[in-house]
Amino acid sequence: MSRILTVGLVQHDCGEDRETNLNKDLDGIREAASRGARLVLLQELHTSRYFCQSEDIGQFDLAEPIPGPSTEALGRVAAELGVVIVGSLFERRAPGLYHNTAVVLDSDGSLAGRYRKMHIPDDPGYYEKFYFTPGDLGFTPIDTAVGRLGVLVCWDQWFPEAARLMALAGAELLLYPTAIGWDPADDAAEQERQREAWITVQRGHAVANGLPVLACNRTGAEPDPSSHTSGARFWGSSFAAGPQGEFLARAGEESEEVLVVDVDLGRSESVRRIWPFLRDRRIDAYGDLGKRFRDE
């Protein structure tokens, strides 16, 4: 039942120059492929700094169409190396209409599909509702040469419903391009609680659905463009987990790293046989999940 897929995760910091950021991605993809990876996951909004720390209409200039320059660059490398690439872009769909969009380039360089981020945060330092329209493509896995990918984005990773719906649609792997970090004003204990919560909830999705999970986060300190706060320090910690939540590989908090690890997609079958959560779901009793809150 074993079905080994070698995957790569490219964790790096981001500066102001788009080409420098994109070259880090491409170099990371090449390194991962040279080490045997057939699937490479990049971090959220990897061609720019995380501009959502403040609300600034000038930042909309960073958006690009899909297909567009970034998908063309990623597609060329995907075809050259024969790898599947999952990227994350600021999509310009139409004037005044923008999305936070993950793209999947298949091993022949074609655009296999896209996922528009469904859950959009609006918190201090993460003013994404100002920039992004909520996704309208639903929770639909994307078929590729290496399997059916359940691609989600950052804030989606806190919602078990998103992971479950991808699993129910046949995803073989859950992938989360991410940009999440600390407020430097928080003390060390609070920072550690936040990072551990982020890791734990995603490992929980792996367990609850019997699926491997890949989470790729950025690293490094980035200033607040408005200068109103002390900025953000992204905590890295990219990781791969197996279908029982076990760690397969982990990156550091501050280092730029290319993680490469073998993931056995076949283990989902055996894990689901001993932990048959999908069998035992009480779908007849879950109607209230469609409500915002269950008022008495």
What separation, in Å, do the N-terminal and C-terminal C-alpha atoms of the chain show? 48
Number of domains within the chain: 1
pLDDT in tens, 56-104: 999 999 999 999 999 999 999 999 999 999 999 999 999 999 999 999 9
Region 189-207: mean pLDDT is 97
Cα–chain center distance at 74: 16
pLDDT in tens, 127-136: 999 999 999 9
Region 21-36: mean pLDDT is 98
Read off the amino acid at residue 24.
K
Domain membership of residue 103 (yes or no) is yes
| Kind of pairing between the strands at 122-123 and 97-105 | unpaired
Is pTM beyond 0.85? Reply is yes
Domain that residue 251 falls in = 4-279
Residue 296 has pLDDT above 80, yes or no: no
Domain membership of residue 289 (yes or no) is no
Region 22-50: mean pLDDT is 98
Q: Cite the active site residues.
A: 44, 117, 154
Domain membership of residue 70 (yes or no) is yes
Closest to 103 (Cα-Cα) out of 41, 148, 147: 41
Burial letters 157-181, b for 16+ CB under 10 A, else e: bbbeebbbbbbeeebbbbbbbbbbb
The C-alpha atoms of residue 171 and residue 182 are separated, in whole angstroms, by 31
The C-alpha atoms of residue 207 and residue 190 are separated, in whole angstroms, by 26
The C-alpha atoms of residue 171 and residue 163 are separated, in whole angstroms, by 9
Domain membership of residue 284 (yes or no) is no
Domain membership of residue 287 (yes or no) is no
pLDDT in tens, 159-182: 999 999 999 999 999 999 999 999
Question: What's the CATH code of the domain at 13?
Answer: 3.60.110.10
188-209 and 160-168 helices, crossing angle to 10°: 20
Looking at 117-172, which runs of residues are DSSP E strands?
A: 122-123, 126-127, 142-144, 147-151
Alpha helix (H) ranges present in the chain?
A: 18-34, 69-81, 160-168, 188-209, 267-274, 277-280
Domain membership of residue 292 (yes or no) is no
The C-alpha atoms of residue 171 and residue 18 are separated, in whole angstroms, by 32
Residue 227 banded pLDDT, cuts 50, 70, 90: confident
Domain membership of residue 175 (yes or no) is yes
Half-sphere CA count of 201, side-chain side, radius 13 A = 17
Domain membership of residue 199 (yes or no) is yes
